[in-house]
């Protein structure tokens, strides 16, 4: 029995090592492509300056990449005749900004062909998008290689949803080696971006299947949202952090503390003592640790399941395997 417990412990440890691989490093391309960060940042800046709302989708794209098969660029692959890819899964159908990654890849292929992976470009673009809208910046460890597999059903099963409660969220994040603190910190990414009404309509119109409202959501806020979001609305989008959805800040935590987070998964942060304490600790912008914490959690997330060495490939075009 003791031997079985020990073997189980070893398996768990190997799993977490695999999902938090240290095979990436800051400055990985110093000799092979020294201008990589400048090129990606300039490309991202060009697009964000024209359309600041692209910042949120780029950040979300990196999240969705890392949560399925690790940060291997699998979310960027197109479906083929014989395979439906992650990109076509329902949670990913609203992703935007693929043209930013493609443009950066094109520029890098001219500068240093066959060197920089699409997964590294995505990690850099997500960081740059956040920093360009007044958010934090952080050093991005590089050296990821691109995966060759992308399966729609895996994205449908493995991505966190707006409907998740705390227990489900903790399990999903924990399976990838992320802590409860990482969960509440990375949820702060909801400070930017928009959401379709259908992602939270049940909280307004049919919370328990009896045509009722979610008692955990501010009732005045529900009345306000109902003006924009009618029953069955599948097209309207609303700001996730009203008034500052184009600016990366701590306002998300203020909204959550007032029970005005859009998603059930936002409200879930108030149902656990550790995450609730974190939400409340960020309300004073001068004492907030959010920017520092967000950078640290993004670095940690960016190491999930990375392919390094001779694993995977360096794609020539990010939407296609070589």
* DSSP 8-class letter at 194: E
Among candidate residues 64, 196, 224, 286, the one labeled active-site is 64
Q: What does the alpha-carbon distance between residue 99 and residue 9 come to, in Å, rounded to a whole number?
A: 43
Binding residues for heme b, by number, are 190
**In angstroms, how far is CA 7 from the centroid of its own chain?**
33
Q: What does the alpha-carbon distance between residue 256 and residue 268 come to, in Å, rounded to a whole number?
A: 9
Query: Cβ contacts of residue 16 below 8 Å, gap of 6+?
Result: 177
Q: Is 64 among the catalytic positions?
A: yes
Binding residues for substrate, by number, are 160
Paired residues of 237 in beta bridges: 196
Binding residues for Ca(2+), by number, are 65, 68, 70, 72, 74, 86, 191, 241, 249
DSSP string for residues in 10-73:
HHHHHHHHHHT----BTTTTTTT-TTHHHHHHHHHHHHHHH-GGGHHHHHHHHHHHHTTTSSSS
Binding residues, by number, are 65, 68, 70, 72, 74, 86, 160, 190-191, 241, 249
Residue whose C-alpha is closest to residue 303's, from 182, 160, 137? 182
- Contacts of the segment 205-214: beta carbons below 8 A, 24+ positions apart: 205/231, 214/264, 214/267
Query: Could you give the residue numbers annotated as active site?
Result: 64
């Amino acid at each position: 029995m003791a031997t079985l417990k020990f073997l189980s412990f070893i398996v768990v440890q190997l799993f977490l090592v695999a999902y938090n691989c240290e095979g990436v490093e800051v400055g990985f391309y110093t000799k092979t492509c020294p201008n990589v960060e400048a090129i990606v940042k300039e490309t991202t800046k060009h697009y964000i300056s024209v359309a600041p709302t692209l910042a949120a989708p780029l950040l979300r794209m990196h999240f969705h990449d890392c949560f399925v098969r690790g940060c291997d660029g699998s979310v960027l692959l197109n479906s083929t005749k014989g395979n439906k890819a992650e990109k076509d899964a329902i949670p990913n159908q609203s992703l935007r900004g693929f043209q930013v990654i493609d443009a950066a890849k094109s520029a890098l292929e001219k500068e240093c062909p066959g060197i920089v992976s699409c997964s590294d470009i995505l990690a850099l673009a997500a960081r740059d998008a956040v920093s360009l809208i007044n958010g934090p910046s952080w050093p991005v460890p590089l050296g990821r290689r691109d995966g060759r597999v992308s399966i729609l059903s895996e994205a449908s099963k493995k991505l966190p949803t707006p409907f998740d409660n705390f227990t489900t969220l903790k399990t999903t994040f924990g399976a990838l080696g992320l802590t409860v603190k990482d969960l509440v910190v990375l949820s702060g990414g909801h400070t930017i971006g928009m959401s379709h009404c259908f992602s939270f309509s049940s909280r307004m119109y049919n919370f328990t299947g009896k045509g009722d409202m979610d008692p955990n959501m501010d009732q005045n806020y529900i009345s306000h949202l109902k003006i924009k979001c009618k029953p069955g609305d599948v097209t309207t989008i609303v700001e996730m952090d009203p008034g500052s959805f184009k600016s990366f800040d701590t306002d998300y935590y203020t909204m959550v503390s007032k029970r005005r987070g859009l998603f059930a998964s936002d409200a879930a942060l108030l149902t656990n003592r550790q995450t609730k304490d974190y939400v409340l600790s960020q309300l004073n912008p001068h004492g907030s640790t959010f920017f520092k914490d967000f950078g640290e959690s993004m670095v940690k997330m960016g190491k999930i399941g990375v392919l390094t060495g001779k694993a995977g490939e360096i794609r020539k075009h990010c939407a296609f395997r070589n």
